[in-house]
Amino acid sequence: MIRTAVVRRPGLGYIYACDPKKQAADVPHVLIFKYTDGRFEAGQANYNAHSICLINDS
């Protein structure tokens, strides 16, 4: 289940998702997907993350 996503620039973005079974059991976790030029990489962490914030300091 997707929680949030952000596009950093063309060809680069991130998706934060969760496992519905872990969420129902209140297990802290996040599934992280990084999209780079047509490829997805996946990872996970043992904390809850429900939003992504992109800050551009120009």
How does pLDDT run across 25-52, given as a tens digit for each residue?
Answer: 999 999 999 999 999 999 999 999 999 9
CB neighbour list of residue 5: distance below 8 Å, 6 or more residues apart:
13, 14, 15, 16, 52
DSSP label at residue 29 = -
Domain-wise residue ranges, the chain:
2-45
27 phi/psi in degrees, rounded to 5: -90, 120
Decide: residue 15, CB within 10 A, 0-12 exposed, 13-18 middle, 19+ buried: middle
Give residue for tokens 């990872």. 43
How does pLDDT run across 3-28, given as a tens digit for each residue?
Answer: 999 999 999 999 999 999 999 999 99
Please give the pLDDT value at position 19: 96
